[in-house]
Structure 1
Amino acid sequence: MFKKPMVSHSLIGALIGYFFFHPVTMVIYHFTYYQSKTAGCDFLDAAVKHLVMAFRPAMLPMALLYTLVGAVIGLFYGYYAQIILRKNQLLRENEQQLREHLLLIEKQASLGIIASSIGHEINNILTAVMGYCQLLQFQDETPQKIRADLDKIFKTSNDLVKLSRALLDLGRPRDSKEEEIDVCEVLDSVTETLVLCGVLKRMTITREYADCPLLIRGDRFLLEQVVRNLEMNSAQAMDGQGELILEAGRQPGDGAVYFRIKDSGPGIPEENLPRIFTPFFTTKGEKKGNGL
């Protein structure tokens, strides 16, 4: 019955109006009138008499009026009850989602600590490899061809060092730090790391920068997170293939620095646009995303 509050409360209101408010009002009215005309009457007898009078056919229009008033009041009450029920349902669903995502975040935090330890060990090994490469390059008896190969090994190892540092950052506790940042350099740095990781390896990357360097003050780590999330979302939306366009410049007029990250993917459905910054909102399915 209460699955449709507007109907149920309207019906209850109509019944209350007919069987309670109508007879009570009639009893009060007729009893007051009767008291003014008759002195020393018995209260109980008069109440019963006027209660019976309330349900006579002559009183039917008044009874219908109270029934209608009760139904309208019940309808409004049911409308607000329905809103409250829906909000409670949404709150329960959101609470469950938050619990699931908090567990996921805890797991990711643990993985970040593990990844940081792995990155530290990899960095130590790569430091030794790069050191030996440089030693061999500086030896006079090393042939030119081998020096060229050693240079390639050194550069590749240097790329791996960047990846290991990214792993270190995953588990490193940090405080917010404001500094001068070059937006162009951040875009290039994050993009290069994702290319090396293979996330953007098959994508065409187009850079449209104006007036570099574009300097702002802020937290570099947080800005890198923003760029990384947007680029990874683009890659996932295009299944790792397509065009990624990086734009940066200054707004005409006030000269404010801006950057845009665009892709050739399907885009975000219009019905999802109001929710894209809702915590943990994602369309990637279960256990595949935490939202922006």
Structure 2
Amino acid sequence: MSLSPFKLPFLLTYVLVGAIVGVLVIHPLYLVVFWWELTDFSETAPTLPEVLSARLWLLLLPRHFDDALAYSLVGAVVGLAFGVFSRNYLRTSQAYQSLREEQTALIPELLKRGETDRVEFKSSLRWDVQENRINRGLEKVIAKTLAGFFNGDGGNLLIGVDDAGRPLGLDKDLSTLKSPDLDAFERTVNDIVSRSLGGDLCPYLHTVFAKVDGKDVAMIIIRPAPRAVYMEENKASVLYIRSGNSTRKLDVREAINYAKKRWS
């Protein structure tokens, strides 16, 4: 999408349309309200069609030009406000789409580089490749990895690839969902975060997808969390951090010291 719609003619169009709406829509609506109130005070009040037919055409007379101008100005202001909103929305949507495309294009490059302190690979979200069945315990492994990224500098978790970065696809995971599509996969990721780590963290991650060698690969992009992110294990709260290309659990003393330094 080019930037041409964001120039002055774009807003002028909304102003012009708004002015027309002011005369043809706002004015009649005002007359409807006027008629409605009139019927409450007079049993002999004219019908709505009579009111509209008697008053709408008056705006065409020179002596009522100020009324027509007033309704036009009201409509123009509304149109301008809507135009500014539309322009900003289009700009934001364009920037967001561009960012997602850049992030998606990054997936093949990350697979080539391998795992680091900011990148980790997982073969699946909930499908046990070894046992060829659903394994809900794998969701906790995903949550643990996400917690490590949240508690550190953020990072990227790629799902649907083996440890060497070779794409495996998401077909098995998708087959376990009520709606076997990528949108449902993303919702499942957010559900895992909400249940295991806290729903307030969902805005700090998003998921993009790419086809690599004809297979779907998901990349969860995680930003650093504004608070310490704990996981419940055996009725205890556990803090995970990234350590090299893996996720490590801190003991109580380490967790306290880390949290003080990280979020104080």
Which TM-score tier does this pair reach, normalised by the shorter chain? Answer: 0.3 to 0.5
In terms of fraction of residues, the more strand-rich structure is: 2
Q: Which structure ranks higher in relative contact order (CA pairs < 8 Å, sequence separation ≥ 6)?
A: 2
TM-score, normalising length from structure 1?
A: 0.33
Larger Rg: 1
TM-score, normalising length from structure 2?
A: 0.36
In terms of fraction of residues, the more helix-rich structure is: 1
